Amino acid sequence: MKIIGSYAIDYSHTIGNVALWNDRKDCHDLSVTPPIALMPSPFPAELFEKAKAVQETLSELYFRISLDHDFLVDAYRDVVKADKWIAKQIELMEMVKKDGIRQNISVQLQRADYMSHWDEQQHKMELKNVEVNIGQVGGPGCATLMSKLHKRMMEKVGNLRYGQPLSSTVNGKLPENCPRKGMAEAMLHAWKLFGDKNAVIVFMNQPELFPVCHFEQLQFIQVSEDLARKEGIYINVVRMTIKETTQRLCLNESDYIMYADGRKVALIHMAYGYLPEHFPSEKEWNIRYDMERSKTILSPNIRLSLSGTKKIQQVLAKPGVIERFLPGQTEKIALLRSTFTGLWGLEEDNDEIRACPKKYVMKAQLGAGKGNYFDDQMANMLSRMSIKERGAYILQQKIWPVVAKNYMKRPFEKPTLEDIVSEVGIYGTFIGNQENGGKVLWNRVEGYLVRSKAHNVNQGGVSEGGGVVDSLILFPENELKY
């Protein structure tokens, strides 16, 4: 195992599967491999294909939700009474609507996260959606490189043990995976739609927050530049923190063109700005408002941001809601609905929830794995909250995934064999024109991300150190033992 662990780290460094060290975020001379699984984790092939099959439908659905102002306002009617973060975003959306939308191109980078779920009553494995992330989607760089690493690890382990690659000795399949390039192609296409070859892309980030996320998101922006160069196009990508945008971005009130350091801005990708603490003052809100009323293409705009919350996920689970946005797509809707878990609002009291908290997860309207509450913590919170306060949360039926074994390798630690569960995120890129009811210009499935964690851990974020970046080896469901 020492040989395998060292080989994984060495190979990761040769392919750029690295990030800044959490303990020295300020030092760009130091890099470490992020927490990784040493081998790909098993997953049912049928469920993986199903997750890919619904992605284009999911992307179009959220685009069309973003076009329905009244639906969004109504969906958050109870949430805004207790959630100041959502209330501020709704206020911003209302201001933008009143002022007028000047850029009709809408860019949506999406990652829909799933887990396998064992249905004890039906005695079968199901695919269940955990959440949908829009805009600030982490992982495309790491995911691309983990698939490359694990392909090499299968060869290395097989040659050490059997004298041939493991792919020759097992019936599993390593799916092709390059979301980094797919994201880059979508960004390049969106930049072209702005129609000014001298305009820049602004990449809004906060590198010291989560070094892993910063670096791998930076990768697909850099790949966008590389793809453009192959076409003889030279794009200038300007990196800024949200604080720097308040100083370096300027909106021309006469023609509503946004400028960055004196240059026109074609596209702003916001890899930051999804939590309340990202907006410490009115300055940050004011520049976000200027972005929204400018002619700059946003990834994402405020309407898409509000479409991708837990509350919208819960409302979509109600009968007839999806049909409102995708009329006539009966088969696609049925397939998509089959991935939903039980989802409920908390506007009313429920004794059963407090009595059996282990069956549920309570979720706030936050991204990055924040605001999730489990078990006794959830029950205690519910016992203290008023009906008004409960309106800011939703309740999701807990998913019971299949447990597998894998070796986890974290920075500066020895590999450990652990019982793990995996969360699979499917990437989608979408570009639409919001005029005349909305037109789809670009809709693609772009690969996947896997994050695995110990089976007995509720919160398993990679950036926080609980989980690891992983990839999949796919088996027919009847070959996996549950």
Give 246-258 pLDDT, tens digit per residue.
999 999 999 999 9
Q: Is 112 annotated as a binding residue?
A: no
Confidence of residue 352 (pLDDT cuts 50, 70, 90): low
Report whether 431 contacts 193 (CB < 8 A): yes
**Of 71, 74, 76, nearest in space to 391 by CA:** 76
Q: According to the model, what pLDDT value does residue 306 have?
A: 97
pLDDT at residue 424 tops 90: yes
pLDDT at residue 16 tops 80: yes
pLDDT at residue 214 tops 80: no
Q: CA–CA separation, 172 vs 312, rounded Å? A: 36
Q: What is the 3-state secondary structure (H, E, C) of the chain?
A: CHHHHHHHHHHHHHHCCCEECHHHCCCCCCEECCCEECCCEEEEHHHHHHHHHCHHHHHHHHHHHHCCHHHHHHHCCCHHHCCHHHHHHHHHHHHHHHHCCCCCEEEEEEEEEEEEEEECCCCEEEEEEEEEEECCCCCHHHHHHHHHHHHHHHHHHHHHHCCCCHHHCCCCECCCCCHHHHHHHHHHHHHHHHCCCCCEEEEECCCCCCHHHHHHHHHHHHHHHHHHHHCCCCCCEEEECHHHHHHHEEECCCCCCEEECCEEEEEEEECCCCCHHHCCCHHHHHHHHHHHHCCCEEECCHHHHHHCCHHHHHHHCCCCHHHHHCCCCHHHHHHHHCCCCCEEECCCCCHHHHHCHHHEEEECCCCCCCCEEEHHHHHHHHHHCCHHHHCCCEEEECCCCCCEEEEEECCCCCCEEEEEEEEEEEEEEEEEECHHHCEEEEEEEEEEEEEEEECCCCCCCCCCCCEEEECEEEECHHHCCC
Q: Is 363 annotated as a binding residue?
A: yes
Q: What is the mean pLDDT of the chain?
A: 89
Q: Which residues pair with 37 in a beta bridge?
A: 408
Q: According to the model, what pLDDT value does residue 207 have?
A: 62
Interval 84-100 mean pLDDT? 96
Measure the CA angle with vertex 233, ends 229 and 236; round to 5°: 90
Q: Is 371 annotated as a binding residue?
A: yes
Q: According to the model, what pLDDT value does residue 134 have?
A: 94
Q: Is 295 annotated as a binding residue?
A: no
Q: Is 451 annotated as a binding residue?
A: yes
Burial of residue 124, with CB atoms counted within 10 A of its CB: 0-12 exposed, 13-18 middle, 19 or more buried:
exposed
Q: Would you give the distance in Å from CA 122 to the centre of its chain?
A: 30
Report whether 135 contacts 300 (CB < 8 A): yes
**Which residue has better confidence, 30 or 261?**
261
pLDDT at residue 298 tops 90: yes
Instruction: Give backbone dihedrals phi and psi of 430, rounded to 5 degrees, phi first.
Output: -145, 135
Q: Is 365 annotated as a binding residue?
A: yes
pLDDT at residue 218 tops 80: no
Confidence of residue 94 (pLDDT cuts 50, 70, 90): very high
Q: According to the model, what pLDDT value does residue 168 have?
A: 53
Q: Is 453 annotated as a binding residue?
A: yes
Sign of the C-alpha dihedral computed for residues 45, 49, 50 and 51 taken in this order: positive
> What is the maximum alpha-carbon separation in the chain?
70
pLDDT at residue 1 tops 80: yes
Q: Is 53 annotated as a binding residue?
A: no
Q: Is 324 annotated as a binding residue?
A: no
**What does pTM read for this prediction?**
0.94
Q: pLDDT digit string (tens) for 436-464? A: 999 999 999 999 999 999 988 776 667 66
User: Which range (48-57, 367-376, 400-409) has the least confidence?
Assistant: 367-376
Q: According to the model, what pLDDT value does residue 465 have?
A: 63
Q: According to the model, what pLDDT value does residue 69 have?
A: 98
Q: Which of 156-165, 402-411, 451-460 has the highest mean pLDDT?
A: 402-411
Q: Is 331 annotated as a binding residue?
A: no
Q: CA–CA separation, 481 vs 457, rounded Å? A: 22
Q: According to the model, what pLDDT value does residue 380 have?
A: 85
Report whether 438 contacts 61 (CB < 8 A): no
Q: Is 370 annotated as a binding residue?
A: yes
What share of the chain has pLDDT > 70, as a percent?
90
Task: At 34, list the tokens.
Answer: 């992020």
Interval 348-372 mean pLDDT? 74
Measure the CA angle with vertex 36, ends 6 and 23; round to 5°: 90
Q: Which of 63-67, 81-85, 158-162 has the highest mean pLDDT?
A: 63-67
Q: Is 372 annotated as a binding residue?
A: yes
Distance in Å from the first CA to the final CA of the chain = 26
**Of 252, 130, 136, nearest in space to 183 by CA:** 136
Sign of the C-alpha dihedral computed for residues 243, 87, 74 and 374 taken in this order: positive
Q: CA–CA separation, 298 vs 391, rounded Å? A: 29
